[in-house]
Structure 1
Amino acid sequence: MKAIWNLCLVCFCLLWSCEVQAGELAQRLENFPQWQKLTSVQPATGDLAYPEWMLGDWLVTSTLVDLAAPLAPDIITPGFEGNRQYLNQPISFKVKFIPEKSVISGSKLIPRTVNEKKLIVADRAFNGLSLARAYLGDELVLAVKVDPESPNRQITLLKGDRQLVSVVTAREVENTKDDRYITTEVFQQLFKGGNNPYFNQVESTTAYQPQLTSTPQIIADQVTAVYLSPQDKNYFQAGSRPVALYRYRLEFRQDLRNTQRETRP
């Protein structure tokens, strides 16, 4: 169960919206770990669009650099202490950012026309599977599926007839003067397959910044915040405060051979 909880915290960090007031998300990262629940996000429609400089295949090294349990010792989430084993331990995996193949119209996915400019989006199924297996191993993680009618609903299938269902409910983006692209996505998560289904809410805020190097590189500062769901007995005690916070440093190095091969006409 602790391993599955670890997956709940990290499995969707790499997943179009209105921009929030300039600097709000950047200031939020600066305020770590003094966080409250983000209230300015907008309902998630369509997929999260990324800058063109994120297009391609990347090898990511993710390192947990800090963690906090703001309401300890009264409230500590399952697996929090177990996550200390990942502190300062780099974990590598591959991710892809690809041109969006379709656009949502009502409840239907409509293919984009040849001349229509395509958005850059995360390959959610590939990225989710790659990340989950990096943390949990190939044997435990069977597959990751994205709802064909919505990129915001994803299911991770686990050994033993267990599932982690994640639904993006809200998001915001922000561009800063120092060329950072900051995103926030809020997820409702449900773990099914144990004795009792477990619900929670997760917010992932990430600041991506391209680096001036001979080969494409990106660094990112990411904070994952875990909030209790209304089903939790401690929900009213926690209020709008997160019960766990995890800060990661992400380093992206692009595999130019794969990127050039996949984007060649």
Structure 2
Amino acid sequence: MLAMRSIWSFCLIVLFLLSGSGKATAGELSQRLAHFPQWEKLTSVQPASGDLIYPNWMAGSWQVTSTLVDLVAPLAPDIVTPGFEGNRQQLNQPVSFLVRFVLEKPSITGLKFIPKVDNQSVILVADRAFNSLNLARAYLGDKAVLSTKVDPDSPNRQITFLRGERQLISIVTARNTETTSDGKFITTEVFQQLFKGGSRPYFNSVESTTAYQKLAQSSPAILADQVTAVYLSPQDPDYFIANSRPVALYRYRLEFFPAKLSTTP
């Protein structure tokens, strides 16, 4: 049987694979990370539309090591989310998985892009099905995760199918990004998650802010600082008590190493 805290850890870290396009007020997102854990609900986001665009230097395949480095329950002991105390066992425990980012032609007009290949304009996007499947199996085990599926009509909607007829549905609803003067690519996104298949469906609202930085001639080649904030859904009896404040904050360190892929078919 899948432990709820394992499902919850996977729900949190899946966010970094879904970061994307948009524009934030200069400095707003970097200031948000600097003020951890003093957070309020983010309001300056735009509705998520189209595919999710990454900077060119993230192209390729990567071995990612994710480590939970801090967790805070700002409204404890009055309000604590399910699995929060159990997630303390994940603190400083690295988890590794393979991801890749690929070039493709934009499917929606009006998107901004820079790179060109063979005179055809392209954008860099995550291989969402590949990435999410590897991520889920790293946290839950190969036998626990059956498959992942991205909605062909919307890259912002994804379903992970789990053993025992369980499903995790993730829908990105809003996002913004920022590029700092020192070259960091920072993204914030808000999304809804629904876990189906337990004794009752579990719904929450989550915001993730991630700063990616390319390191010159270094290992890892990319370093990311991510903070995930969990908010109560309007269906929760403590929703108005929380008053739009996060009830849980998780901070992760993400290290990207160039993947050494086997050439054997």
The reply to whether TM is greater than 0.5 is: yes
Structure 2 unaligned spans of 5+: 110-116
Report 1:41-80 matches (<5 A). Answer: 41-80=45-84
In the other structure, the counterpart of 1:108 is none
> In structure 2, which of residues 5, 9, 12 is the aligned counterpart of residue 6 of structure 1?
9
* Aligned equivalents of 1:72, 1:21: Cα separation in 2: 31
Q: Is contact 1:202-1:224 (8 Å) kept?
A: yes
In the other structure, the counterpart of 1:171 is 175
Report sequence identity in percent. 68
Q: What SS does the corresponding residue of 1:25 show, helix, strand or coil? A: helix
* Aligned equivalents of 1:240, 1:59: Cα separation in 2: 36
* Aligned equivalents of 1:8, 1:55: Cα separation in 2: 24
In the other structure, the counterpart of 1:20 is 24
Q: CA deviation at 1:116?
A: 3.2
* Aligned equivalents of 2:57, 2:204: Cα separation in 1: 33
Structure 1 residues 216 and 197: alpha-carbon distance in aligned structure 2, compared to 1, 3 A threshold: closer
In the other structure, the counterpart of 1:218 is 222
Q: What SS does the corresponding residue of 2:16 show, helix, strand or coil? A: coil
RMSD of aligned Cα (Å): 2.0
Amino acid at match of 1:168: V
Structure 1 unaligned spans of 5+: 106-112
Q: What SS does the corresponding residue of 1:93 show, helix, strand or coil? A: strand
Q: CA deviation at 1:63?
A: 0.8
Matched positions, count: 254
Q: CA deviation at 1:61?
A: 0.7
Q: CA deviation at 1:3?
A: 2.2
* Aligned equivalents of 2:171, 2:204: Cα separation in 1: 11
> In structure 2, which of residues 153, 157, 162 is the aligned counterpart of residue 149 of structure 1?
153
Q: CA deviation at 1:12?
A: 2.8
> In structure 2, which of residues 183, 190, 207 is the aligned counterpart of residue 186 of structure 1?
190
Q: What SS does the corresponding residue of 1:232 show, helix, strand or coil? A: coil
Q: CA deviation at 1:2?
A: 2.7
* Aligned equivalents of 1:226, 1:214: Cα separation in 2: 33
Q: CA deviation at 1:52?
A: 0.3
In the other structure, the counterpart of 1:240 is 244
* Aligned equivalents of 1:115, 1:11: Cα separation in 2: 34
Matched, 1:131 2:135: yes
* Aligned equivalents of 1:7, 1:123: Cα separation in 2: 18
TM-score by length of 2: 0.90
Matched, 1:252 2:256: yes
